[in-house]
Amino acid sequence: MLDLIYLDNNSTTRVDPIVLEKMIPFLSNAYGNPLSTQYALGRTANQALEEARNNIADILNCSPSEIIFTSGATESINMALRGIYENYQTKGNHIITAASEHKAVLSTLHYLEKKGAHVTYLPVDQNGNIDLDQLSNAITDKTILVCIMAANNETGVIHPIDMIGEVCRNKNTLFFCDATQWVGKKEIDLHNSSIDLLCFSSHKHHGPKGIGILYKRNKRRPIQIPSLIAGGLQEYNMRGGTHNIASIVGMQVALQLADGQKDKLHSIEEMRNYLEEQLTERIEHIIINGKQSLRINNTSNITFKYARGSEIILNSPKLAMSTGSACVTGTRDPSHVLKSMGLNDEDCYSTLRFSLSKWTTQQEVDSAVEILRRSVSKIREESPLWSMFKQGIID
Ligand code: PLP
């Protein structure tokens, strides 16, 4: 484990030691329940809870009352999509999303389709982008929600969320944005955006797992949705269950650290670009997917022609990287994201995602490139398809 080169930060990240340090008191002496405010131990927890809410709201530029603490993006997505569908049925049953969304969104929408929702899946082009005119034309007077992610978890491709928000606002439709791969890497200003609902998980930017938020706009046209988890009065009656106060504090600190380390973002991008340059130089016939688009700074999605991603991983035990989203690991299906961009099945299977962090060093990237070069060349040597490709018999 010690020698592992970790290039799978879109799956999850290592908790920053500063975050951990701030969490520990709430797992030991300061163990109070934030709603038990009759005594000091509870009040200490309550103060930490509200401080975290205020500080997170400051960073996102929204009101503290617009933040609901959840167990992470998946729960927030379920709360938002199911909630909007349930409460806005008098307007209609139409929801618009993109074919390249995360499974948490697509599976929730498939569930809603069984309940009667009509869902439009906007196609993406070969660079992973949606067409804004197509989005605008797809919105009807029955459309209750547009659901588009900020940055794709597999390719890093960024959608123009401000422009999407404007289209939605002009057409009087709500906009939900899955910002799980965006928050902590890019700025977000909810007050000045047209995003109505937004979610993320803390563990994607060096915070703890199992904690995240749903932002739900309360100002101007307040959004009403039912709670997903019935129980106590926590989170404005929106999410029952005793607060995970240590993780909430950890989420706040992780976000503050990310906010204060914006200079690191540029160096992560330089390292990502360096990885891509080195791989392009040293391994023939690779394709960087989404490279023509704006991408999140840490992500690289690469097809190694005729070298299966799963085999590269087997041959490279020192590297942690992924064949796609961690949520669908174990399925044999090719990535729906890459398929939506027009890749054939063989190329989908020959693709790996690399996602860097603020701790990825040039030495690690150099070693990773050399390991990948050896693995890919070994796999290709044994591949009849590769030799047919080299002879020009297949593409
Ligand atoms: N949305 C996106 C874009 C993601 O990348 C992920 C996790 O990979 C999720 C949603 C789900 O996050 P979580 O598993 O923390 O609920």
On the CB side of 388, CA atoms within 13 Å amount to 7
Whether residue 146 contacts residue 174, with contact meaning beta carbons closer than 8 Å, is answered with: yes
Q: Is the CB of 178 under 6 A from ligand 1?
A: yes
Q: Please report which residue ranges of the chain form alpha helices under DSSP H.
A: 17-27, 40-60, 73-87, 103-114, 132-138, 161-170, 234-237, 245-260, 262-282, 309-315, 336-340, 345-349, 362-381, 384-390
Token readout for 206 is 């060096």
**Residue 38 Cα to ligand 1 middle (Å):** 37
Q: In the block, which residue shows the tokens 């039912």? A: 226
Whether residue 154 contacts residue 335, with contact meaning beta carbons closer than 8 Å, is answered with: yes
Whose structure tokens read 């459309």? 143
pLDDT for 219: 80
Which pLDDT value is given to residue 100? Answer: 98
3-state secondary structure at position 56 = helix
Q: Is 301 in the pocket of ligand 1 (CB under 6 A)?
A: no
Ligand 1 in reach of 180 Cβ (< 6 A): yes
Per-residue pLDDT band for 395 (boundaries 50, 70, 90) equals confident
- As annotated, the active-site residues are 327
When pLDDT is cut at 50, 70 and 90, the band that residue 327 belongs to is: low
**What pLDDT digit, counting tens, does each position of 265-289 carry?**
889 999 999 999 999 999 999 999 9
**Which residue owns the Cα nearest ligand 1 atom 9?**
73
Q: From the alpha carbon of 325, which atom of ligand 1 is closest?
A: 8
Ligand 1: distance of its center to the CA of 74 in Å? 6
What mean pLDDT do residues 306-326 have? 91
Q: 318-327, 331-340, 374-383 — which one is most confidently predicted on average?
A: 374-383
Q: Measure the CA dihedral 70/75/81/84, to 10°.
A: -40
Cα 201–115–142 angle (5° rounding)?
85
Mean pLDDT of 107-127: 98
How far is it, in rounded angstroms, from Cα 194 to Cα 163? 9
Q: Which helix (H) or strand (E) holds 5?
A: strand 5-6
pLDDT for 264 equals: 81
When pLDDT is averaged across residues 307-336 and rounded to a whole number, the result is 84
Within 10 angstroms of residue 318's Cβ, the number of other Cβ atoms is 11
d(CA 42, CA 72) in angstroms, rounded, equals: 24
Ligand 1 atom, smallest distance to 326 CA: 8
Nearest CA to ligand 1 atom 14: 74
Ligand 1 atom, smallest distance to 149 CA: 3
- 102 CB within 6 A, ligand 1: yes
Averaged over 214-221, what is the pLDDT?
89
CA dist 282 and 284 (Å) reads 7
Q: Is 335 in the pocket of ligand 1 (CB under 6 A)?
A: no
Half-sphere exposure (Cβ direction) of 171: Cα atoms closer than 13 Å: 24
pLDDT tens for each residue of 16-59: 999 999 999 999 999 999 999 999 999 999 999 999 999 999 99
Q: Please give the average per-residue pLDDT across 334-355, as a whole number.
A: 96
Q: Higher confidence at residue 262 or residue 223?
A: 223
The pLDDT of residue 328 is: 53
Task: Tell which atom from ligand 1 comes closest to the C-alpha of 101.
Answer: 3
**Residue partners of 225: CB distance under 8 A and separation at least 6:** 79, 80, 83, 84, 86, 87, 216, 238
Does the beta carbon of 103 sit less than 6 angstroms from any atom of ligand 1? Answer: no
Q: Could you report the per-residue pLDDT of 72-108, keeping only the tens digit for each? A: 999 999 999 999 999 999 999 999 999 999 999 999 9
The whole-chain average pLDDT of the chain stands at: 95
**Nearest by Cα to 173 from 190, 197, 199, 149:** 197
Q: Give the model's confidence band at 331: pLDDT under 50 very low, under 70 low, under 90 confident, else very high.
A: low
Count of alpha carbons within 13 angstroms of residue 73, beta-carbon side: 27
DSSP β-bridge partners for residue 145:
95, 174
Q: Rounded to the nearest whole angstrom, what is the distance from the C-alpha of residue 151 to the centroid of ligand 1?
A: 11
In tens, the pLDDT along 176-197 reads: 999 999 999 999 999 999 999 9
Nearest CA to ligand 1 atom 12: 73
From 15, 149, 153, give the residue whose CB has the most ligand 1 atoms within 8 Å, as the site to mutate. Answer: 153
Ligand 1 pocket test, candidate residues 11, 77, 101, 102, most atoms within 8 A of CB? 102
- Nearest residue (CA) to ligand 1, atom 8: 11
Taking alpha carbons only, the member of 15, 7, 8 closest to residue 258 is 15
Whose CA is closest to atom 10 on ligand 1? 73
Q: Nearest 5°: phi and psi at 84?
A: -65, -45
Choose among 80, 61, 84: nearest CA to 72: 80
The whole-number pLDDT of residue 329 equals 54
User: Which atom from ligand 1 is nearest to the alpha carbon of 74?
Assistant: 16
Tens digit of each residue's pLDDT (9 = 90 or more) over 131-166:
999 999 999 999 999 999 999 999 999 999 999 999
Residue 1 in this model has a pLDDT that exceeds 80: no
Across residues 58-69, what is the average pLDDT?
97
Residue 3: how many other CB atoms lie within 10 Å:
7
- In degrees, to the nearest 5, what angle opens at C-alpha 10 toward C-alphas 5 and 15? 70
Q: How far is CA 65 from the centre of its chain?
A: 23
Instruction: Work out the pLDDT band at 232, boundaries 50, 70, 90.
Output: confident
Q: How far apart are the first and last CA of the chain?
A: 39
